[in-house]
Amino acid sequence: MMDLPIAIIIAVAAFIVGAAAAGFICFKMGIKHRIKTAEAQFESAEKESARIIEEANTKAEDRKKAALVEAKDEIYKMRSEAEKEIQRLKTETDRELKERRGELSRSERRLQQKEENLDKKTDKMERLEEQLHQKHKKADEKIAEAEQLKASQMDILERISGFTTEQAKEHLLSLMDSELSHEKAVKIAAYEQKLKDEEDELARKNISLAISRLAADTVSETAVSVVAIPNDEMKGRIIGREGRNIRALETLTGVDLIIDDTPEAITLSSFDQVRREIARISLERLIQDGRIHPARIEETVEKARKEVEQRIRQEGERAVMETNVNGLNHELVRLIGRLKYRTSYRQNVLSHSIEVAHLAGIMASELGVDEALARRAGLLHDIGKALDHEIEGSHVQIGVDVCRKYKESPEVIHAIEAHHGDVECRTVIAALVQAADAISAARPAARSENYENYIKRLEKLEEICCSYNGVEKSYAIQAGREVRIMIKPEAVSDDGMKVLARDIAKRIESEMDYPGQIKINLIRESRAVDYAK
C-alpha cells in the first residue's frame, strides 16, 4: 500500500525531469536557428548597403558632371554679355567724345568771332575818342574866343554906362530885390489865405466825415429802475413782517424801494447807478428764489455786488476790444468798466469815451497821424471820472495821475490834460481828442445840466455825512429828501447819535442849497456772530 504513492511520485518526478531536459534541448536548438537566420540577414543587409552606396556614388558623379557643364555654360553666357556691354559702352563713349569735340570746336569758333568783334569795337572806340578829342580842342578854342569877345563887350558897356561890373551887379540886384520883395509879400499873403481856407475846409470835412461815419446813439441814464414781479402778493413778501425785509434791502443797498399801486412792478430809486444795479439784481433773484428774509437778503446782495464787479471788468474789456486798444494795464481796464455806471450831464461816460475814441481815430486816419494812439487817448480821456467820487480833484487831474501811475505814454497823458483846455494843445492827438470830446458832447439831448447838478447835490450830501467819525456808510434816498447813515456801534453811543444827527443837520443847512427838507436817519446796529462746530 505504501509503495504505490511513492511510485506515483517517482513517476511524476521522472516525467518532470524529462520534460525539462527536452525543453532545454529544444530551446538550445531554437537559439542556434535564430543565430543562423540573423547572420544571413546581416550578410544580405551588407550587400544591399554596398549596392546603395555604389548607386549613390554613381548618381553623385553624374550630377557633378552635369553641374560642371551648367557652370561652364553660365560662365560662357556671362562672358558673352560682358563683352557685349563693353562693346556698347565703348560705342557710347566714342559717340560722346565725338559730340564733345564738335561742341568744343563750335565754342572755339564762337570765341574767335567774339574776339574779332571786340577788336573791331576797340578800333571804333579809338576812332571815336580821337574825334571827341578834336571836338574838345575846337570847343576850347571857341570858348577862348567867346571870353575875349565878352571881355571886349564888357569894356564897351563899362565905358557907355559909366558903371564897373560890380557896380552894375549891385544896381541890378537892388532893382530886383525891391520888385521881388513886393511880389513875395503878395504871394505870401495869398498863400497864407489859401492855406487857411484849405485848413478850415479840411477840418470841416474831417469832422463831418467822422460824425457821419460814427452813427452812435446818445445814451441817457435815469435815476430809477423798474423790477417786474409775478403778482401783487409778492409786494407783501418783499415788505416782510413789520417791514423788516424792505428795511434790510434798503439798508444794505442804499436804494429806495417804492412799492405803490403800480401793478406787478416795484420801482428802485437811487442816483448811484452801481447801487441801483446791485439792488435790481438782488431783488430779481430774491423774487425768483422765493426765500425772502433778512439773512437771505444779505447773502443775495453780497453775491450781486460781486457780480456787478465782474460786469464792470467785462464792460472794460468790451470797450477795449470795441475800440481796438491794446496793451492797457488791467487796472485801467477795470476803471474803464466803472464808467458804465457813471453819467456826466445824463450822458453815459463809457459810451461817450468809446464814441470819442472812434471819432479821434477816424479824424487821425484822415490826417495821416497815429490812429491807434488817437483811439487810446480818446478812450482814456475821461478815466478820472471813475474815481472822482473817491479822490479829491478834477477828473482831468485824477486821470492824468492815474495814467502816469500805470506808465501811459506822454502823448496820451497830454491829451487827457488838454481835452478841456486846461493846458494848451501841443500835439495833433491832443487837438483831435479835444475836438472829438466836443463833438460827442454837442449831440442833441446828449447832456443835461439839471441832472448833473442833482447828482452833485446828492453826492455832496453823502460826502458831508461820511466825513464824521463813527459813520460807516451813508445813502441818499428819496431823491435827496432822506439820508440813511450807518453808525459804528462801538464808536457812537445811543446818546451820541442824537448829537451827531443834530451836527449833521446843521452842517447840511449851512453848506447846501436844496428844496424842502432832508430827513437824517441814523441807524445803529450791534451784531454778534459765532459758529457751532
Lowest mean pLDDT among 139-153, 441-455, 482-496: 441-455
pLDDT one-digit tens code per residue, 105-121 = 888 888 888 888 888 88
pLDDT at 223: 61
Which whole number is the average pLDDT over 297-321?
Answer: 90
Give whole-number Cα distances, 73 to 76, 81, 85, 87, in Å: 5, 12, 18, 21
Is the pLDDT at 195 greater than 60? The verdict is yes
pLDDT one-digit tens code per residue, 73-84 = 888 888 888 888
Which of 397, 420, 447 finishes a domain? 447
pLDDT one-digit tens code per residue, 244-284 = 888 888 888 888 888 877 778 888 887 777 888 888 898 88
Is residue 524 domain-resident? Answer: yes
Which whole number is the average pLDDT over 335-346?
Answer: 81
Structure-block grid coordinates of residue 373:
494812439
Q: How far is Cα 77 from Cα 79, in angstroms, rounded to an integer?
A: 5
pLDDT one-digit tens code per residue, 222-235 = 567 788 888 878 88
Is the pLDDT at 127 greater than 50? The verdict is yes
- Is the domain of 335 the same as that of 429? yes
Percent of the chain with pLDDT over 70: 85
pLDDT at 302: 92
Helix count (H) and strand count (E) of the chain? 14, 8
Is the pLDDT at 206 greater than 70? The verdict is no
Is the pLDDT at 209 greater than 60? The verdict is no
Q: pLDDT grade, residue 443 (50/70/90)?
A: low
Beta strands in 196-287 (DSSP E): 224-228, 256-258, 265-269
Is residue 497 within 8 A of residue 470, CB to CB? The reply is no
Which of 397, 417, 447 finishes a domain? 447
The owner of cell 495833433 is: 428
Is residue 58 domain-resident? Answer: no
pLDDT at 215: 46
- Is the domain of 492 the same as that of 510? yes
pLDDT at 376: 92
Phi, psi dihedral angles at 431 (to 5 degrees): -65, -40
- Is the domain of 355 the same as that of 432? yes
Lowest mean pLDDT among 10-19, 70-79, 252-261, 361-370: 10-19
H or E element in which residue 476 lies? strand 471-477
**Torsion sign over Cα 381, 383, 384, 386:** positive
Which whole number is the average pLDDT over 319-347?
Answer: 85
Mean pLDDT for all residues in the chain: 81
pLDDT one-digit tens code per residue, 288-303 = 888 888 888 899 999 9
Is residue 371 within 8 A of residue 242, CB to CB? The reply is no
pLDDT at 411: 92
Query: Which residue type, as a one-letter code, is found at position 370?
Result: D
- Is the domain of 530 the same as that of 474? yes
**CATH number of the domain within which 438 lies:** 1.10.3210.10
**CATH number of the domain within which 461 lies:** 3.30.300.30
- Is the domain of 431 the same as that of 454? no
Total domains in the fold of the chain:
2
CA 282-253-499 angle, 5° bins: 160
- Is the domain of 461 the same as that of 428? no
Is residue 352 domain-resident? Answer: yes
Q: What is the DSSP string of 66-87?
A: HHHHHHHHHHHHHHHHHHHHHH
Is residue 294 domain-resident? Answer: no
Residue among 479, 6, 2, 85 at smallest CA distance from 267: 479
Is the pLDDT at 370 greater than 80? The verdict is yes
pLDDT at 179: 67
Is residue 415 domain-resident? Answer: yes
Which of 430, 447, 464 finishes a domain? 447
Q: Which domain holds residue 428?
A: 324-447
Query: Which residue type, as a one-letter code, is found at position 32?
Result: K
Which whole number is the average pLDDT over 406-423?
Answer: 88
